[in-house]
Amino acid sequence: MKPIGTLLTGALTGALAACAMASAAHADTYPSRPIRTLVAFPAGGSADIVARMVTQKVGEMSGFNFVVENRPGAGGNLAFDATASAPPDGYTLLFSTPGIAINPSLYRKVEYKLSDFKPIALVGEAPLVLMTRPDLPIHDIKDLVAAGKEKPDAVRFASSGNGSSSHLAMEVLKSMAGLQYLHVPYKGGGAAMADMLGKRVDVTMLPISESMPYIRDNRLRALGQTGAKRSPIAPDIPTFAEEGVKGYSVTTWYMLLGPARLPDAVVNTLAEKFDQALKSPDLQQKLRNAGVSIINEGPVQTKAFLDQQAASWAKAIAASGTHID
């Protein structure tokens, strides 16, 4: 009779070999059905537009079938929860903006943690634009600060939702510039923009791709953009740093993630296909036209970026004292 240790070692070796074979077989056949890709905002917003733009190109080049599913609500937490708890088989993915890095520090309780996700690809980043109505006597950030100080809650700020990059970018500006305002959260940038145009709110801050059509036709007035440098599609709009808020730099970004236990073979397959698509000239041009600066990093670099962003936002949120129950 073989010793128990030998039997256990053999059984363990066999189990590991079986897992490796199963993983390899899964990679060989993946994907065999549509890949559901969750977006935490309604259709028509920048996250939705970029997600569809990128996954369509990946699908064209790879033959993979991506189905973008909008799952708005709770500042993105509905989509994040659904991804974290999904089977780690590669058929439920998340196309995320900074909320994934923000919410664990912003909300007093969430059902997930950052380690519940497997970063796959970092697509790119884009600035936001701070805008006001042209009928208001606000032409720059100094005017906005003065208006807020003149009367408490006089400035009504419309964000795309609690915990959104729109909301938190404004909170950072508030802490750095001494800004005062009444926060009015919406379920997405489209709803915030509708009330801006309807003169029910005074100021909003949204990704540049959502903002420029309204600025170009003079329906809204740009006060500044949030990036470290001016976007090529908005060279006439100054940065906040140029407007006197030294050191300010906040962007929204777009990242693909899956559940934490997603097999490396699937992660690498997806990363490779996204890399190929993001190197195609036509997709690059479309993204640039949408104000997105392409980053195109793989899983290791994407994880490092996500960890850095989470740490940075944790400090900013703690400094602002902003928390959501």
For residues 188 and 160, give the distance between their C-alpha atoms in angstroms, rounded to a whole number. Answer: 4
Which pLDDT score, from 0 to 100, does residue 322 have? 79
Higher-confidence position of 36 and 108: 36
For the cut 70, the answer to whether the pLDDT of residue 65 exceeds it is yes
Query: For tokens 């003149």, what's the residue?
Result: 150
Exposure on the CB side of residue 301, measured as CA atoms within 13 A: 10
Whether omega for the bond prior to residue 152 falls within 30 degrees of 0, making it cis, is no
Calculate the dihedral angle through the C-alpha atoms of 119, 319, 208, 77, rounding to the nearest 10 degrees.
50
Residue pair 209/126 in contact by the 8 Å Cβ criterion = yes
pLDDT at 216: 96
What's the whole-number mean pLDDT along residues 79-89?
Answer: 97
For helices 165-177 and 99-106, what crossing angle results, to 10°?
60
Rounded to an integer, what distance in angstroms lies between the CA atom of residue 233 and that of residue 208?
9
User: Contact, 155 vs 127, CB < 8 A?
Assistant: no
Q: In which band, very low, low, confident or very high, does the pLDDT at 319 lie, cut at 50, 70 and 90?
A: confident
**232-269 pLDDT per residue, tens:** 999 999 999 999 999 999 999 999 999 999 999 999 99
Tens of pLDDT, residue by residue over 159-201, are 998 878 899 899 989 989 989 999 999 988 899 999 999 999 9
pLDDT reported for residue 161: 87
Give the pLDDT confidence score for residue 321 in this predicted structure.
79
Residue 22 CA from chain centroid, whole number: 33
pLDDT band at 99 (very low <50, low <70, confident <90, very high): very high
Residues 77 and 221: their CA atoms lie apart, in Å, by: 32
pLDDT confidence band for 151 (50 / 70 / 90)? confident
- Coil/strand/helix, residue 316: helix
Q: What are phi and psi of 148, to 5 degrees?
A: -70, -35
Residue in 74, 75, 70, 116 with CA at minimum distance from that of residue 95 = 70
**What's the token pair of residue 102?**
């923000």
Give the range with max mean pLDDT: 20-24, 147-151, 169-173, 192-196.
192-196
The answer to whether 58 and 280 have CB atoms below 8 angstroms apart is no
pLDDT at site 187: 86
Mean pLDDT of the chain: 90
Could you tell me the two tokens for 287?
A: 């993204």
C-alpha separations of 136 from 147, 203, 239 in Å: 10, 10, 21
Does residue 85 register a pLDDT over 70?
A: yes
